[in-house]
Structure 1
Amino acid sequence: MDILTLVGLLAGVAIVSIAMVANASVTTFLNLPGLAIVLGGTLAVTLIKFRLRSVIGSVRLAMVTVFTETSEKPLDLIREVDTLARVVRKDGILGLESHETGNDFLRKGINLCVDGHPPEFIEQALVEEMQQRMDRYEVAERVFRGMGESAPAIGMLGTLVGLVQMLNTLDDPSSIGPAMAVALLTTLYGAFIAQLIALPLADKLQLKAEDERRNMTLITTSIQNMVQGQNPRVITELLSAYVTPSEQATLGREPGG
């Protein structure tokens, strides 16, 4: 689990919430009409911008990837690839058939190799899979970034609504307070949703996509070189560019066969 994402989200919400109720009650900052304007308006704008299935898929993708550590470390992948390359060097491509891996993209590459597909087809299949996955990440990022852009704007609309209500009821002092609450709290709700939820999730989705692209590119390069019968040591040297210099020093550099 990506505990830091969850801790950061909960800490941000908690700090702001504690500051809000430090000298006031919870009900002071609870205004159902204003909340309905921001939540309903943000959802409506999001549904106008994107298809319903894109919104639902984006939320699911965020819940699966943002709060869990799904991407493997490049160093671990390089070590696994080194093992696979040595198996291919010794037993041929069919030697990969018994290898078990937790990485679904690497498993797909292995299956394509074992099935005897030509290198060009394997590369095309892996690149297409990578592109489709990146497209899903991009849509999810755009959805949450769109929410982050819409929420403050909808909050400002709520502020205008509250101000109009207040100006129309200046002769009734008892109605000024509720109208002013709508005016101010909708802006607060919009900024809260954007800055503490939607935009951070969009940024984290972008980071997760970059990690996935890096790992999938590493695997694609590895599969291509294994199919070509490249020396395991050479493959490891080639892939060492994906890790830091300190991690490169931990990679085994045994003489190739």
Structure 2
Amino acid sequence: MNIASLLGIISGFVLMVFGIVFVMTTKSIDMSLLTNFWDIPSVLITFGGSFTTLMTMEPSMRAYLEKLASFRLIFKNLPSNEMETIQNIIALSNVARKEGLLALEETANGIEDEFLKKGILLIVDGTDPELVRSILETELNCIEGRHNDVIGFWDKLSAMGPAWGMIGTLIGLINMLKDLNDVATIGPNMSVALVTTFYGSVLANWICIPILNKLKIKNAGEIMMKEVIVEGLLSIQAGENPRVIEEKLKSFLKPAVRSEYELNEGGEEIG
């Protein structure tokens, strides 16, 4: 589980609640203040309006529910990392160098990564290098397109929250201005009207924007690892020396990660 995501969401909620209930003048906690921020019509307008608008935008209910369920992805860690991917490619290059490309077919049977497995089988079958690159990059573009579609869902939801919050505020203000006979009710009614704007901002900044940014990071990491795989497999197919392949693939790593790789694994002799 990705602890940073869980801790960030929980701590953000706790700090927000603390800011609501902490009374600055008396330096004390007043939990009754939470009732000022609870209004059922405001919840229905802001959250109901935002989510139903996104539902309208999606091609089907299934697509809508699948994108909504992508919320869970921020709590999952990537199954592998850049260093492991490079190490796997170098291991494959050593097999190919010592036993030939055909020997990779048996190795492919034990690989769980379908993208890597597909690339290995393509080069084992003797597919032209340019065609291998074209096939893998096409699949890579399709993967990134699907990822961006999900990211776009949360981006649109982050815009819908404040928009529907403002709609709720306008509804409250219109109802308040229609009845100004009792001046004492203006303050409470204004407070209720502003609650919807508060809900919209919370939905956007506490939930949607962190999710879409986390998904962007995960997408970038996964795409980079697949680009490493493409370059590594094409280098193996070209018969390049494993050491040369390693140096080429290390260029994908950040300086800190590259130093760690060289310290832990990079210094080992490659046959």
TM-score normalised to the size of structure 2?
A: 0.84
Matched, 1:249 2:262: yes
Q: Percent identity?
A: 33
Change (3 A) 1:229 1:114: same
Question: Which residue is equivalent to 2:39?
Answer: 31
RMSD of the alignment, in Å? 2.3
**Structure 2 residue matching 1:249: 3-state secondary structure:** helix
Query: Aligned-pair distance for 1:123?
Result: 1.7
Contact in 2 for aligned 1:31/1:181 (Cα 8 Å): no
The structure 1 segments of at least 4 consecutive aligned residues displaced by more than 4 Å after TM superposition are: 172-178
Q: Work out whether 1:155 is the aligned partner of 2:168.
A: no
State the distance in 2 between where 1:59 and 1:198 align. 11
Contact kept in structure 2, 1:55 and 1:140, CA below 8 Å: no
- Counterpart residue number, 1:125: 135
Distance 2:12 2:244 in 1: 47
For 1:232 and 1:253, locate their aligned partners in 2 and report how far apart those are by CA, in whole Å. 12
Cα deviation, residue 232, structure 1: 0.9
Counterpart CA distance in 2 for 1:12 and 1:184 is 21
Distance 2:124 2:70 in 1: 30
Counterpart residue number, 2:174: 164
Partner residue of 1:144? 154
What is the CA–CA distance in structure 2 between the aligned matches of 1:93 and 1:43, rounded to whole Å?
52
Q: How many residues align?
A: 255
Partner of 1:98: 106
1:35-84: CA deviation from partner (whole Å, max 9, x where unpaired):
100012112332344434543333334423x2111252211111111111
Structure 1, 92-101 or 53-62: larger mean CA deviation? 53-62
**C-alpha displacement at 1:24, in angstroms?**
3.8
Deviations 1:134-159 (Å, cap 9, x if unpaired)? 11111111111111112112111111
Given the alignment of the two structures, is residue 87 of structure 1 paired with residue 100 of structure 2, yes or no?
no
Aligned runs of 1:1-257 on 2, under 5 Å? Answer: 1-21=1-21, 22-25=29-32, 26-52=34-60, 53-64=62-73, 66-70=74-78, 72-99=80-107, 100-171=110-181, 179-243=189-253, 244=255, 245-250=258-263, 251-252=266-267, 254=269, 256=271
Measured in 2, the distance between the counterparts of 1:60 and 1:167 equals: 41
User: What displacement does 1:19 show?
Assistant: 2.6
Alpha-carbon distance, 1:4 to partner = 0.7
Unaligned runs of 5+ in 1: none
1:18-39 deviation digits (Å, cap 9, x = unpaired)? 3324424343321110010001
User: Shift of residue 88 of structure 1?
Assistant: 0.7
Amino acid at match of 2:106: S
Q: Distance in 1 between matches of 2:246 and 2:51?
A: 48
SS at match of 1:125: helix
The answer as to whether partners of 1:159 and 1:184 remain within 8 angstroms in 2 is yes
